[in-house]
Amino acid sequence: MTLSLDLHGKPVLDSKVALLTGANGGIGLAVAYAYLASGAKCVIVDLPQDPSPGVSALLDKYGDNLAYLHADLTDAEARQHIVSAVVSKFGGIDVLFNNAAVFDMGPFLEATEAQFDKLFNVNVKAMFFLMQDVAKAMVEAGNGGKIINMASQAGRRGEALVAHYCATKAAVVSYTQSAALALAEHGITVNGISPGVVDTPMWDSVDALFAKYENRQLGEKKKLVGQDVPLGRMGVPNDIAGMALFLASPLSDYITAQTYNVDGGNVMS
């Protein structure tokens, strides 16, 4: 099922331009589907050289309204090139879906600087400076804008095996609040989404790490976390895409500096 939204008989993101990172699959791809179906023009950025089959299908369907760029977001020149390329192709940026992230875990007493640098370089540094680069373009254009940063329920609490990742996602929540206050005078809203456990291909890797460090069978952790959700299941990408579509739309114009838990009731804040 592809999400879409109309307002007053017109696609809710009609003529809007959205930049989405980490959207070659999973949550990001679901959000791209929702944005395109709701009238947006989109540029998807991810690390692989070639688009995934899911993105290729979108390129076939939406043609000139979609582009795929491969880039390393930890590289400052690459980030600036992305922003310039989107502005050049579509005339500006109205929405940033700031989603790219990496995951790792391990025992606290064995945590390394290499792990720390890997997670913070992508999940915090690249997230912040892409947000800054896009915000500069939005301010220059003078039309306001919507920035949506992807946090996690991991950013709401510590976890013994996931210290670095939890800290990076807590930083996303904090930067979202600060950026919202800094950019409010320019008509730019900045909000976040804090998913719970979402059934994407990445969770196979996460499950394997939990199996290693908690001495579990493969698939056991994934089953348990789904059972522990108050609504009784893991989330799916469209559960997150609904909030991402709302926050990109005019329906959220008076909302800023918030990070929404979309987690089936796992976290209450």
List, for residues 131-190, the tens digit of each pLDDT value.
Answer: 999 999 999 999 999 999 999 999 999 999 999 999 999 999 999 999 999 999 999 999
Q: Tell me, what's the pLDDT at 205?
A: 92
DSSP reduced 3-state for 180 = helix
7-21, 23-37, 184-198, range with the lowest pLDDT? 7-21
Is the per-residue pLDDT at 20 higher than 70?
A: yes
Task: Kindly tell me if the per-residue pLDDT of 6 is higher than 90.
Answer: no
Task: Note the helical H segments in 53-148.
Answer: 53-62, 76-90, 113-120, 127-141
DSSP state letter for 10: E
What pLDDT is recorded for position 5? 75
Among the listed residues 72, 17, 31, the one whose alpha carbon sits nearest the alpha carbon of residue 49: 72
Active site residues: 165
Q: How many Å is the maximal CA-CA distance in the chain?
A: 57
Structure confidence at residue 7 (pLDDT): 75
- pLDDT, mean over the chain: 96
The alpha carbon dihedral of 22, 25, 31, 35 has a sign of positive
| Residue 145: strand pairing partners | 188
- Which amino acid is located at 134 in the chain? V
Which of 87, 90, 26, 85 has the alpha carbon at shortest distance from 62? 90
- Measured between alpha carbons, how far is 247 from 226 in angstroms, rounded to an integer? 26
Q: What's the pTM?
A: 0.96
What phi-psi label fits residue 24: left (phi over 0), alpha (psi between -120 and 50 degrees) or beta? alpha
> Contact, 19 vs 93, CB < 8 A?
yes
- Is residue 256 a contact partner of residue 189, using CB atoms and an 8 Å limit? yes
Size of the chain, expressed as the number of residues it contains? 269
* pLDDT tier at 9, thresholds 50, 70, 90: confident
Residues 17, 21, 25, 27, CA torsion sign = negative
User: Residues 48-88: pLDDT tens digits?
Assistant: 999 999 999 999 999 999 999 999 999 999 999 999 999 99
Residue 238, pLDDT > 90, answer: yes
Residue 4 above 80 pLDDT? no
* 1 band by pLDDT with thresholds 50, 70 and 90: low
3-state secondary structure of 191: strand
234: which 2 tokens? 């893991």
State mean pLDDT over 26-31.
Answer: 98
Q: What percent of the chain has pLDDT over 90?
A: 94
Pairing assessment for the beta strands 10-11 and 6-7 based on DSSP bridges: antiparallel
Q: What is the pairing mode between strands 41-46 and 66-70? A: parallel
Express each pLDDT in 186-222 by its tens digit: 999 999 999 999 999 888 899 999 999 999 999 999 9
| pLDDT confidence of residue 3 | 78
Residue 126 contacts residue 79 (beta carbons within 8 Å): yes
Percentage of the chain modeled with pLDDT above 70: 99
At 64 the three-state DSSP class reads helix
Domains and CATH numbers, the chain: 13-197+235-262 (3.40.50.720), 199-232 (no CATH)
